[in-house]
């Protein structure tokens, strides 16, 4: 009998040991080894029917060398987290001056006023409020609204994480946020996950129009003596708006200021990354289908290029960025370093397999390109250079990625994967 027990114990030990050996903590399941590849039919559709005159072939990606994440702009090696921190302001400045623009230092004041309130939202005791932020500077004012929803479980003794959405489609006013389900900002789903959430509409901060400058926050705060080629574009202005929303949000006693995420899709996804680079109070950045000027590497020139984006949307970036169209190799930085500016905080990047315009492989490669920064800080992150398969989220430590089957969009499925990731991340951090 005793001998049998001993044999059983040895068998169990062998099984457990072999599982541990086969599956080290960060290992990717074997099924993911194949990885995502662009569907050839899609490549053809994009080339011939959607946006022609642009590269969607992996074999046609120009030869490029990414700037080394562990080198300063003037070429010195960075060996420690401390050296990285000392270098970060210079990197941030380079992104400001060459891509997104410098925010003016004009003094301003912000007042917040509640303009609507709903108790017991969704029948689960959540409180929803619409707040109007009014910015005043040099005798002028500019207002924009945002909606904030806080779950019943939140209190000053037990504050909850918050997800701030930069909504590039529309303002979802209070009543709609509570009464109508919208997969783009699924408030009830977020609240039921135990988080508070806030959203504002980009154009309310700065119009999303090439001739909208005069009506937005950029004109109101402009510094006439600043370098014309480095003035902030709308993406930066929207990110600034996200920070003003955060100022209010983290003052609410039910919100935990150390567990904050910023989320955006497409132009909103580009903004979410830049907002988190500029404002370190955002602890997680989620960028959905952000493409060129977002997570995708500019040097790959696959799908939307610097030339196309700055031609179609000249108001998004600083003027200097446009000059890199067709000479991306001369950019002093590339987008993996934008992810690097957010590290060692969390970054979640999302692609969609029919969205070749946003260059899924370029978005994934950029996330992986920030790996050396996470290593410096000893923070776990995705290392696998092979992309995961469709609809197979890869979540490792402070980084997350998935490529969803389907078109350019932010869907409930995307939110589901992201909420899973945040749950783990916020519990551990």
> Which residues form the catalytic set?
266, 408
Using CB under 6 A as the binding criterion, the count of chain residues that bind ligand GTR stands at: 7
CB of 238 to ligand GTR, least distance (A): 11
Is residue 309 at the binding interface for ligand GTR, with CB under 6 A as the rule?
Answer: yes
Is 167 or 252 the residue whose CB approaches ligand GTR more closely? 167
Residue 63 to residues 60, 301, 302, Cα–Cα distance (Å): 9, 10, 12
Is residue 266 at the binding interface for ligand GTR, with CB under 6 A as the rule?
Answer: yes
Is 51 or 85 the residue whose CB approaches ligand GTR more closely? 51
Cα separation, 350 vs 410, whole angstroms: 9
Site residues for ligand GTR, 386-405, by CB under 6 A, read none
Is 278 or 304 the residue whose CB approaches ligand GTR more closely? 304
Is 304 or 328 the residue whose CB approaches ligand GTR more closely? 304
* Listed residue (419, 418, 421, 429) closest to 194, CA to CA: 419
Is residue 166 at the binding interface for ligand GTR, with CB under 6 A as the rule?
Answer: no
Site residues for ligand GTR, 50-109, by CB under 6 A, read none
CB of 304 to ligand GTR, least distance (A): 5
CB of 142 to ligand GTR, least distance (A): 23
Among residues 118, 201, 267, 345, which is the contact residue for ligand GTR, using CB under 6 A?
A: 267
Residue 62, burial from CB neighbour count under 10 angstroms (0-12, 13-18, 19+) = exposed
CB of 357 to ligand GTR, least distance (A): 6
Is 218 or 265 the residue whose CB approaches ligand GTR more closely? 265
Is residue 252 at the binding interface for ligand GTR, with CB under 6 A as the rule?
Answer: no
Q: Work out the number of other CB atoms within 10 angstroms of the CB of residue 74.
A: 7
CB of 98 to ligand GTR, least distance (A): 18
Cα separation, 333 vs 341, whole angstroms: 11
Among residues 292, 318, 349, 352, which is the contact residue for ligand GTR, using CB under 6 A?
A: 292
Give long-range contacts, CB 8 A cutoff, 24+ apart: 84-91.
84/373, 84/376, 84/377, 88/341, 91/333, 91/337, 91/340, 91/341
What the block records as the tokens of 220 is 């109101």
Among residues 69, 130, 167, 168, which is the contact residue for ligand GTR, using CB under 6 A?
A: 168
Is 194 or 406 the residue whose CB approaches ligand GTR more closely? 406
Is residue 291 at the binding interface for ligand GTR, with CB under 6 A as the rule?
Answer: yes
Cα separation, 305 vs 298, whole angstroms: 7
Among residues 204, 304, 328, 414, which is the contact residue for ligand GTR, using CB under 6 A?
A: 304
Helix 267-278 / helix 234-249 crossing angle, nearest 10 deg: 60
CB of 291 to ligand GTR, least distance (A): 5
Q: Can you give the binding site for ligand GTR, defined by CB under 6 A?
A: 168, 266-267, 291-292, 304, 309
């Amino acid at each position: 009998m005793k001998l049998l027990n001993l044999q059983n114990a040895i068998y169990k030990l062998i099984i457990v040991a072999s599982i541990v050996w086969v599956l080290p903590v960060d290992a990717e399941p074997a099924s993911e080894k194949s990885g995502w590849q662009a569907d050839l039919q899609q490549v053809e559709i994009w080339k011939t029917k959607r946006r022609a005159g642009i590269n969607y072939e992996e074999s046609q990606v120009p030869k490029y060398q990414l700037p080394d994440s562990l080198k300063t702009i003037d070429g010195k090696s960075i060996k420690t987290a401390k050296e990285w921190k000392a270098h970060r302001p210079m990197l941030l400045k380079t992104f400001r001056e060459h891509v997104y623009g410098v925010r003016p230092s004009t003094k301003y004041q912000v007042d917040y006023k509640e303009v609507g309130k709903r108790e017991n939202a969704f029948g689960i005791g959540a409180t929803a409020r619409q707040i109007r932020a009014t910015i005043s500077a040099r005798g002028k004012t500019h207002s924009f609204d945002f909606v904030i929803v806080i779950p019943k479980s939140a209190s000053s003794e037990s504050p909850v994480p918050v997800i701030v959405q930069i909504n590039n489609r529309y303002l979802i006013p209070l009543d709609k946020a509570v009464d109508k389900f919208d997969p783009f900002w699924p408030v009830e789903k977020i609240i039921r996950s135990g988080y508070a959430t806030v959203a504002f509409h980009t154009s309310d901060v700065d119009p999303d129009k090439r001739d909208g400058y005069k009506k937005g926050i950029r004109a109101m705060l402009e510094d006439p003596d600043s370098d014309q080629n480095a003035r902030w574009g709308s993406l930066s202005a929207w990110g600034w708006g996200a920070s003003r929303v955060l100022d209010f949000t983290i003052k609410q006693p039910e919100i935990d200021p150390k567990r904050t995420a910023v989320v955006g899709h497409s132009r909103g996804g580009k903004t979410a990354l830049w907002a988190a680079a500029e404002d370190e109070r955002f602890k997680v950045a989620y960028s959905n289908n952000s493409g060129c000027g977002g997570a995708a590497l500019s040097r790959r020139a696959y799908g939307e290029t610097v030339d196309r984006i700055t031609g179609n949307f000249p108001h998004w970036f600083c003027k200097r960025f446009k000059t890199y169209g067709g000479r991306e190799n001369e950019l002093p930085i590339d987008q993996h370093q934008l992810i690097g500016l957010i590290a060692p905080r969390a970054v979640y990047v999302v692609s969609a397999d029919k969205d070749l315009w946003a260059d899924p492989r370029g978005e994934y490669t950029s996330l992986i390109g920030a790996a050396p920064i996470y290593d410096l800080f000893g923070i776990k992150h995705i290392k696998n250079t092979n992309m995961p398969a469709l609809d197979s989220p890869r979540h490792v430590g402070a980084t997350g990625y998935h490529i969803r089957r389907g078109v350019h969009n932010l869907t409930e499925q995307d939110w589901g994967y992201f909420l899973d990731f945040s749950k783990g991340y916020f519990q551990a951090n």
